[in-house]
Amino acid sequence: MGVGVLPLENLALATLNVPDSPQLRARTAELTRPGGVELQLANTYEARDRTGFIAIAVNRSRMVENAWIRPGWPDRIRPDAFPAVLYSTYMTAVQRALAVELAHRPVQQPSAPAPDDAYVDPAALSLEEWVRRTRSRLDAIDAEYDAIRRRQQAPPPDVTEIRSPLGYLTMQMRRGGPIAITGDPQALDNPSSTVLADEILQLFGRAGLGVALGEPSPPVHPQDDTAGEARENCYESRVAEDDHFAELNDSGWLE
């Protein structure tokens, strides 16, 4: 008795295609050709906010390697808006790294599927053997659907929070990925740009999203006296920052 059944192991899921749209093309061009200059593969990729006062650099593994805050940033960015602008700048740097790496990925020709040595023509099976194999496949499908339903019905994972050493910034994370950055507007009211840049690096390092920075400073509440001293004593180390942004400006990066 011949039974015309398509073996389930021969089925293949459709390939996921990213839709091509004017918005997507514009975003890709913005990421890979900032200022009209096409970016090449590099060890680090940088992004800045619209004001040019916040810059974040990530490596090819999308780990934060450096952060720069230009002095005088409170004149252009409100302290209560700073965390959201920082998060957006970080996401742009990550997206830029992904976009540039994908744009330069070599095109691979699809390989022919390997012959399936385990395939048996259903017409060659007895009715009992065909029923047994079919029931086994259906049971496996039911088990997979049950697992999918359990995952969908499971409560969402808890959001964890990670604080920067001095408490300026807090990162919310879910499933190991950042979903937001918040901050204390009073603590962010005109702090040293050097301290703030270090807070950012320490925050991403603590979250496992930055390069190793050594032992971080112990957490201190931003209203404690020790935190106040740290903010008061760190207004002088700005020459290196100014030089860095001057180089970026000369190269046209901050135009």
* Block mean pLDDT (10 aa), the chain, length 255: 44 48 81 86 93 94 94 91 95 93 76 62 78 84 83 77 93 91 87 91 94 48 36 36 44 40
Phi, psi (rounded to 5 degrees) for 98:
-65, -45
| Position 118 in a domain | no
- Compute the residue count for the chain: 255
Task: State which of 190, 207, 224 marks the end of a domain.
Answer: 207
52 and 100 in a single domain? The answer is: yes
Judged by DSSP in three states, 145 sits in: helix
What pLDDT shows up at residue 12? 43
How many Å apart are CA 197 and CA 53, to the nearest integer? 11
87 and 130 in a single domain? The answer is: no
Q: What is the residue type of 244?
A: H
Total of domains in the chain: 2
How many Å apart are CA 227 and CA 164, to the nearest integer? 12
Contact predicate 49/78, CB 8 Å: no
52 and 63 in a single domain? The answer is: yes
The residues pairing with 162 across neighbouring beta strands, listed in sequence order, are 171
Q: DSSP state, 30?
A: H
The residues pairing with 173 across neighbouring beta strands, listed in sequence order, are 160, 178
| Position 117 in a domain | no
What pLDDT shows up at residue 119? 66
| Position 184 in a domain | yes
| Position 144 in a domain | yes
Work out the number of other CB atoms within 10 angstroms of the CB of residue 241.
17
What pLDDT shows up at residue 114? 59
147 and 175 in a single domain? The answer is: no
Q: Are strands 169-174 and 177-183 parallel, antiparallel or unpaired?
A: antiparallel
178 and 67 in a single domain? The answer is: yes
Sign of CA dihedral 57, 63, 65, 70: positive
178 and 90 in a single domain? The answer is: yes
55 and 169 in a single domain? The answer is: yes
Q: Which domain holds residue 147?
A: 125-154
93 and 184 in a single domain? The answer is: yes
What pLDDT shows up at residue 190? 72
Q: Are strands 64-69 and 54-59 parallel, antiparallel or unpaired?
A: antiparallel
What pLDDT shows up at residue 16? 41
65 and 130 in a single domain? The answer is: no
What pLDDT shows up at residue 113? 59
| Position 131 in a domain | yes
What pLDDT shows up at residue 4? 45
Question: Taking the CA of residue 14 as centre, how many other CA atoms within 13 Å lie in the half-sphere pointing to its CB?
Answer: 3
Enter the pTM of the model: 0.61
51 and 77 in a single domain? The answer is: yes
How many Å apart are CA 20 and CA 191, to the nearest integer? 44
How many Å apart are CA 193 and CA 53, to the nearest integer? 10
How many Å apart are CA 205 and CA 207, to the nearest integer? 5
| Position 217 in a domain | no
150 and 31 in a single domain? The answer is: no
What pLDDT shows up at residue 115? 60
| Position 2 in a domain | no
Contact predicate 124/7, CB 8 Å: no
31 and 65 in a single domain? The answer is: yes
| Position 116 in a domain | no
What pLDDT shows up at residue 107? 67
How many Å apart are CA 21 and CA 56, to the nearest integer? 28
Contacts of 230 (CB under 8 A, 6+ apart): 166, 195, 220
